[in-house]
Amino acid sequence: MEKKEFDARLARDYCMEYGMIVGLICSASFLCSMHGFDAALLGQAGNVLGLIAFISAGALIRQYGRKMGRLTFGRSCYMAFLTYVFAIMVTAVVQYIYFRFMDDGQLAGQVQQIIQMPEYRQWLQQMAGEEDVDKLLHESLQFMYNPERMTLQLVWMNLLLALLLMVPTALLGRRK
């Protein structure tokens, strides 16, 4: 196979497609995880789908490398990061729709049940020190009722996760 020159625009276009695929898998993982509080099997399915998203990103980058020529580690990292950025965009839309129209405060209710446990309150009092734990919990729960803030927080967390997964994905995506 002849070695082709790396075309960043073409790679970006492929990353958009790959990001759509990975984003749909991540969205399914998110939705399963959100309903995993009520059904443990759905929560586990969400975890499995998250792993499938990671493996899929690496496999798609490897497929691109086979089609377009050998990818260096840096180019594989570039493609992995772009793929995750586009996947985050797709997932953010699904998360916003979920929190705006489908959640109806269920997540906040679940969290509120957890924080009412005596062990958790005691742990919070130890961690917060002199601060008023009830005020801290009230502010946290108010944050959870705002779909825009929840979605933005998840976008930032997903970007951090993308930075962490970029190198393993690039290694998975490189040909041996």
Does any domain span residue 3?
A: no
Contact 15, 82 (CB under 8 A): yes
Give the model confidence (pLDDT) of 123-155 as tens digits: 877 777 666 777 777 777 777 788 999 999 999
Does any domain span residue 132?
A: yes
Co-location of 83 and 30 in the same domain: yes
Task: Give the pLDDT score at 113.
Answer: 79
Does any domain span residue 1?
A: no
Task: Give the pLDDT score at 93.
Answer: 98
Co-location of 72 and 110 in the same domain: no
Co-location of 130 and 159 in the same domain: no
Domain count, the chain: 2
Residues of the chain with pLDDT under 70: 1-3, 129-131, 175-176
Quote the domain boundaries for residue 111. Answer: 106-144
Co-location of 86 and 75 in the same domain: yes
Co-location of 12 and 80 in the same domain: yes
Co-location of 55 and 126 in the same domain: no
Does any domain span residue 2?
A: no
Co-location of 43 and 58 in the same domain: yes
Task: Give the pLDDT score at 1.
Answer: 47
Co-location of 157 and 75 in the same domain: yes
Task: Give the pLDDT score at 131.
Answer: 67
Co-location of 79 and 156 in the same domain: yes
Co-location of 27 and 84 in the same domain: yes
**3-state SS string for the chain:** CCCCCCCHHHHHHHHHHHHHHHHHHHHHHHHHHHCCCCCHHHHHHHHHHHHHHHHHHHHHHHHHHHHHCCCCHHHHHHHHHHHHHHHHHHHHHHHHHHHHHHCCCHHHHHHHHHHCCHHHHHHHHHHHCCCCHHHHHHHHHHHHCCHHHHHHHHHHHHHHHHHHHHHHHHHHHCCC
